[in-house]
Structure 1
């Protein structure tokens, strides 16, 4: 290929390398010079124009790009007509993108004139999504280079593995303190994950966290035709001999691998039983946010076997978020005695179970419930007290008249408790290291318990969530490190944050309590009457 300046008359048949502007003349890059262009250039007084000309054995940029794109396109891949030296490739069907990385590297190694870029391997794609592009740098290349790139491409350099698993069974194990609504949300999130693949949950079971009972449930789901079984444990898997892996082996299955170098997602377990894959889901799989569980799930749905070497090879790029158990470079680690924790009192609910009256305005020992909780928060070591109001907000705020609290109105209070949590978190001062979320209908929560939670909160020792516990049952209020504020802001509906406690079990510090102060919420007339009787 010849490249260089030429007079307009000598440039005939050449292609302009740059856009040329002179006076009223505009000649765009890539224009083939013909008699009309020569006349226009001459009239404009242009002496020279930089052009390229193909020589014998050369092929144009579009011809080269199209040839290489066709060579790499495997099953489920469409190639768009090449234009300006670029040929784009698109998914012809939904599925998972499978890439022969070695072939991609070979193509890019043929010559600097040829480039080939793809999306990340194993990315889930939808029909019509652009997945790769072949781009020629110059306006043409030697035909032998195009042929060399085609030769090293190999068969199915790119292909779309279609989703083949459609029937999924789910088992949730139970322990005291795991609310049914957490499982309900987990199922909803899982169904949303499966939907792009056209897969559905054909059956779900909720059983005690016991290997024998769990084994029977997995076997039952397999008998119902499940092509994939997902187990959500009430407690995170800690060892290959733990409940979930033990249940898999009890029915003659095998554990392929436990643990993966993707965070969040470290505690994933993959096994099989009767030729069907079985996943022990990490706690983060309860959240809709992308995590290592997604990386494995979508491959399995596309019929791609995930081996131990596949999992151990996910480390590069596997850090999807900051690891909460380690201080971050931009964060000054908290030290004991230097805790700045805000208290958030949720007082926005509609009191639907009270049958009409606002429970927060009901009186106990001569004080309204909302005021009792707010006063205890103010008497604690909390650095500030934020009260979230909504339903009958003016009346609730009047009930707290004279108290040094910060009011935040939640206009979306009817949508559930999550909106109030988010409103409160949004109002926390930037200087706060964390926030303790108190419910306005729990009048037995006192300043002493709040202080114990604050004292237990120790980020420098990995204690990032503090929760009261009695006889294995977790109650309220719960203290959250600022590092979880972003996740708290993703809550939705009438589901609280219990699933986040399960997800981050390794950083939860439990505070033993006696009695029912951490559990008694007054949300019915009967509960109010019982509290008044003492």
Structure 2
């Protein structure tokens, strides 16, 4: 063949055990189109009349003649083969779970999107196992990533035009085994709880009004974007006992979360870490292997999550707070190993 990716007439190409051939339009009924067909109506329309993978019916014959088609390239699928769109569609159905929706196949790809704002729940081992099969592909966002309603979560893809059905059956088996073992699909989205937080802003310079508070607006925006809210904000000077008193006040108010901002470095006059500890907090970690946000403190005070937020939360769009906060809102109990795991991929600026 020269100048074309299609066979010459009467010279069929064998793809797996399926066949790609050129046939007369009248003889194509019941066969599968091998490529898109475009219609051009000057001044009115230019676009796809029939998509690749369309099964030709008798009613299509006049329309095909109208666009000048006397012959078509079609696929005669073997019983053990699938067209790329069918393969991608079946994979999406098998893999998708709670709070997801998938679209129509297009050029061998199906996009899976989130129906809600939540946390991506994707099993890395399943993704790797599927991608080892060959001739098919699965691309996803990272596990525990925040996804918003309508955002892409995963995409299934058939690499060749014709895919052996055994490949897709393997994907379906992998997904089914995972569902049986864990009670959920390999690709799903966990909803976030709506929490009310008490926000305590420390710092004599803010308390006395010498500078404008910038922590409050930044923290409020982050919580509101995830469906939660700052229910109350209070201001205190850099005094350990006063900070402890205000933390206990928030605890008594019954807020779902306590956020303490400012004074988180190692300077002698930074009282916040000591005050959070003195309040009786079970500290999970003071410091994270992530930049920005390495000076973040996290723990539990009588079961209530409490954060000590460093200054970077005011001005950096993505910090360790943005990693841990969604996990807390999803109902996870954060342990030391979760913090340790933040180092790999945790450098977000140089």
Q: TM-score, normalised by structure 1?
A: 0.52
Between the aligned partners of 2:295 and 2:167, the Cα distance in structure 1 is 47
Paired residues of 1:2 and 1:52 also in contact (CA < 8 A): no
1:203 aligned residue: 232
Task: Report whether the alignment pairs 1:185 with 2:217.
Answer: no
Question: Structure 1 residues 180, 17: closer, same or farther in 2, change over 3 A?
Answer: farther
1:362 aligned residue: none
1:272 aligned residue: 300
Measured against aligned partners, the alpha-carbon deviations of 1:387-416 in whole angstroms (never above 9, x if no partner) come to xxxxxxxxxxxxxxxxxxxxxxxxxxxxxx
Between the aligned partners of 1:111 and 1:156, the Cα distance in structure 2 is 22
SS in 2 for 1:98: strand
Match of 1:131 among 153, 174, 196: 153
Question: Structure 1 residues 162, 217: closer, same or farther in 2, change over 3 A?
Answer: same
Between the aligned partners of 1:305 and 1:12, the Cα distance in structure 2 is 59
SS in 1 for 2:79: coil
Deviation at 1:164, TM superposition (A): 0.9
Question: Structure 1 residues 253, 183: closer, same or farther in 2, change over 3 A?
Answer: farther
Match of 1:116 among 131, 138, 146: 138
1:175 aligned residue: 204
Match of 2:120 among 97, 101, 105: 97
Question: Structure 1 residues 7, 197: closer, same or farther in 2, change over 3 A?
Answer: closer
Measured against aligned partners, the alpha-carbon deviations of 1:157-216 in whole angstroms (never above 9, x if no partner) come to 222222214210111112358763756321112111111222111222222323332222
Measured against aligned partners, the alpha-carbon deviations of 1:489-508 in whole angstroms (never above 9, x if no partner) come to xxxxxxxxxxxxxxxxxxxx
Question: Structure 1 residues 139, 190: closer, same or farther in 2, change over 3 A?
Answer: same
Question: Structure 1 residues 107, 259: closer, same or farther in 2, change over 3 A?
Answer: same
- The more displaced of 57-66 and 141-150 is 57-66
Between the aligned partners of 2:19 and 2:116, the Cα distance in structure 1 is 45
1:459 aligned residue: none
Paired residues of 1:88 and 1:134 also in contact (CA < 8 A): yes
Match of 2:264 among 207, 211, 236: 236
Question: Structure 1 residues 53, 139: closer, same or farther in 2, change over 3 A?
Answer: farther
Kindly report which structure 2 residues correspond to 1:4-403, keeping only aligned pairs within 5 A, or say none: 5-8=20-23, 14-18=31-35, 29-32=52-55, 36=61, 51-112=74-135, 114-153=136-175, 154=178, 155-176=184-205, 180=209, 182=211, 184-233=213-262, 235-238=263-266, 243-287=271-315, 289-322=317-350
Deviation at 1:231, TM superposition (A): 0.8
Between the aligned partners of 1:201 and 1:222, the Cα distance in structure 2 is 14
Between the aligned partners of 1:231 and 1:297, the Cα distance in structure 2 is 14
Between the aligned partners of 2:174 and 2:154, the Cα distance in structure 1 is 17
SS in 2 for 1:215: helix
Paired residues of 1:165 and 1:303 also in contact (CA < 8 A): no
Question: Structure 1 residues 101, 183: closer, same or farther in 2, change over 3 A?
Answer: farther
Higher relative contact order (CA 8 A, sep 6+): 2
Q: TM-score, normalised by structure 2?
A: 0.76
Between the aligned partners of 2:76 and 2:310, the Cα distance in structure 1 is 60
SS in 2 for 1:8: strand
Between the aligned partners of 1:320 and 1:101, the Cα distance in structure 2 is 22
Coordinate RMSD, CA, aligned: 3.3
Deviation at 1:7, TM superposition (A): 3.9
1:397 aligned residue: none
Between the aligned partners of 1:182 and 1:156, the Cα distance in structure 2 is 50
Deviation at 1:312, TM superposition (A): 2.4
Which ranges in structure 1 are unaligned for 5 or more consecutive residues?
323-534
Between the aligned partners of 1:98 and 1:181, the Cα distance in structure 2 is 45
Between the aligned partners of 1:143 and 1:251, the Cα distance in structure 2 is 61
Paired residues of 1:100 and 1:156 also in contact (CA < 8 A): no
Which ranges in structure 2 are unaligned for 5 or more consecutive residues?
1-15, 39-48, 179-183
SS in 1 for 2:230: strand
Measured against aligned partners, the alpha-carbon deviations of 1:63-106 in whole angstroms (never above 9, x if no partner) come to 33233222222222122343443322221222222221222222
Question: Structure 1 residues 293, 179: closer, same or farther in 2, change over 3 A?
Answer: farther
